[in-house]
């Protein structure tokens, strides 16, 4: 299957271009064109092999949830003229990620297992096991690193470093908790538990907007609700619907992004499995059927044509 590793367009009115771990972002006048590639990252490294349909899953999942949360907070999205593309307003981003955790998992669990009982200055109760639900969701922000790993940061550090004002922080935290509550409700209706996720925000004309992606497999972790309590009682690991299984495959093959470690080559069979898992996640999370694009000669040509048609070039 064809997959999109990267794009190299030059659009009329283009003023800048940025290639992130997964997205290619073009600034055209005062609009952003965000193209979700099929690249996949883990441990802050981009894997050399793209995953077919991953970009479409990522983009269409984000569009689904951005449209479903406009009543909570304004967001940047204006249109999605192609399965891999979102176009919207340019905002001045806060240099923090608003991470929120409903359950003890992932990074928080690794910190907890190492003996720590607070994260980002927020206490975690004693006696918890991996997968246990927190009494109430924890907001544990991280700084956005230009390179390397994002780092945990406390509310106090955010204010002291002027990454946000006190009033802005209050608004960001309110939006984060409200979005997580909406995401939790939407997930529950699909038989899922929203474990943890992150949101990014920016300013446009002095107003806070939700930007980037939300509730996608790259930004969120889900458990299957069915059997959750039984698995916890038995001390079994929870069944996840996220890209955690890709991280686990990398660890099994001796890679955690540490210096001197070599990225393993991904076989065809596993790449196909990852693609199917992403499609499963889209259909499970959104309740919509995944529609593969019709036959085409080239993904890049299709994307360029759809963007050009949208702008009337």
* Domain presence at residue 247: no
Question: Which of 275, 284, 287, 268 minimizes the C-alpha distance to 245?
Answer: 275
Residues 284, 171: one domain? no
- What is the arithmetic mean of pLDDT over 89-106? 96
Structure confidence by residue, pLDDT tens digits, 196-211 = 999 999 999 999 999 9
Q: Which domain holds residue 59?
A: 14-91+274-311
Question: CA distances (Å), 82 to each of 6, 7, 298, in order?
Answer: 15, 14, 13
CA distance 158 to 4: 37
CA distance 187 to 193: 6
**CA 171, 172, 177, 179: dihedral to nearest 10 degrees?**
100
Residues 40, 100: one domain? no
* Residue 223 pLDDT: 95
Q: The domain that contains 306 carries what CATH number?
A: 3.30.200.20
Residues 85, 97: one domain? no
**Residue 71 predicted with pLDDT over 90:** yes
CA distance 31 to 165: 26
Structure confidence by residue, pLDDT tens digits, 146-181 = 655 679 999 999 999 999 999 999 999 999 999 999
Residues 141, 174: one domain? yes
Structure confidence by residue, pLDDT tens digits, 138-155 = 999 999 766 556 799 999
* Residue 6 pLDDT: 96
DSSP letters along 87-142, please?
A: EEE--EE-SEEEEEEEES-HHHHHHHHTT--EETTEE--TT--TTPEEEEEEE--E
Query: With bands split at pLDDT 50, 70 and 90, how would you rate the model's confidence at 67?
Result: very high
Question: Tell me, what DSSP letter sits at residue 70?
Answer: T
- What is the arithmetic mean of pLDDT over 93-115? 97
Structure confidence by residue, pLDDT tens digits, 293-309 = 866 569 999 999 999 99
Exposed, middle or buried: residue 5 (CB in 10 Å: 0-12, 13-18, 19+)? middle
CA distance 76 to 15: 18
- What is the arithmetic mean of pLDDT over 103-123? 97
* Domain presence at residue 231: yes
Q: The domain that contains 230 carries what CATH number?
A: 3.30.470.20
* Domain presence at residue 165: yes
The model's pTM:
0.91
* Residue 9 pLDDT: 98
Tokens found for residue 67 = 């449209």
Residue where a domain terminates, one of 241, 263, 284 = 241
Question: Which of 272, 264, 224 minimizes the C-alpha distance to 248?
Answer: 264
Query: With bands split at pLDDT 50, 70 and 90, how would you rate the model's confidence at 239?
Result: confident
Residues 124, 139: one domain? yes
- What is the arithmetic mean of pLDDT over 239-243? 81
**Residue 185 predicted with pLDDT over 60:** yes
- SS3 at position 197: strand
Q: What is the mean pLDDT of the chain?
A: 94
């Amino acid at each position: 299957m064809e997959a999109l590793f990267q794009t190299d367009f030059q659009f009329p009115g283009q003023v800048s271009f940025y290639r992130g771990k997964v997205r290619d972002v073009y600034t055209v006048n005062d609009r952003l064109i965000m193209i979700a590639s099929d690249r996949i990252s883990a441990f802050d490294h981009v894997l050399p092999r793209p995953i077919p349909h991953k970009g479409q899953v990522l983009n269409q999942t984000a569009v689904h949830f951005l449209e479903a949360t406009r009543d909570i907070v304004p967001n940047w999205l204006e249109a999605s003229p192609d399965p891999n593309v979102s176009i919207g307003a340019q905002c001045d981003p806060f240099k923090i990620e608003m991470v929120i955790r409903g359950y003890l998992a992932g990074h928080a669990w690794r910190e907890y297992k190492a003996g720590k009982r607070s994260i980002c200055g927020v206490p975690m109760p004693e006696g918890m096991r991996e997968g246990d639900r927190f009494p109430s969701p924890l907001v544990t922000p991280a700084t956005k690193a230009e390179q390397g790993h994002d780092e945990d940061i406390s509310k106090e550090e955010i204010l002291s470093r002027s990454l946000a004002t006190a009033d802005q922080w209050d608004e960001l935290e309110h939006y984060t908790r409200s979005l997580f509550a909406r995401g939790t409700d939407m997930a529950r209706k699909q038989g899922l538990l929203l474990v943890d996720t992150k949101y990014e925000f920016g300013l446009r004309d002095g107003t806070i907007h939700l930007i980037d992606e939300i509730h996608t497999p790259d930004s969120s972790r889900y458990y299957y609700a069915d059997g959750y309590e039984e698995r916890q009682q038995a001390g079994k690991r929870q069944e996840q619907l996220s890209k955690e299984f890709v991280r686990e495959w990398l660890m099994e093959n001796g890679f955690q992004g540490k210096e001197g470690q070599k990225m393993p080559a991904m076989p065809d069979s596993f790449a196909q499995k990852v693609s199917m898992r992403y499609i499963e996640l889209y259909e499970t999370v959104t309740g919509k059927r995944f529609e593969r694009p019709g036959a085409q000669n080239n993904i890049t040509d299709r994307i360029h044509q759809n963007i050009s048609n949208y702008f009337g070039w």
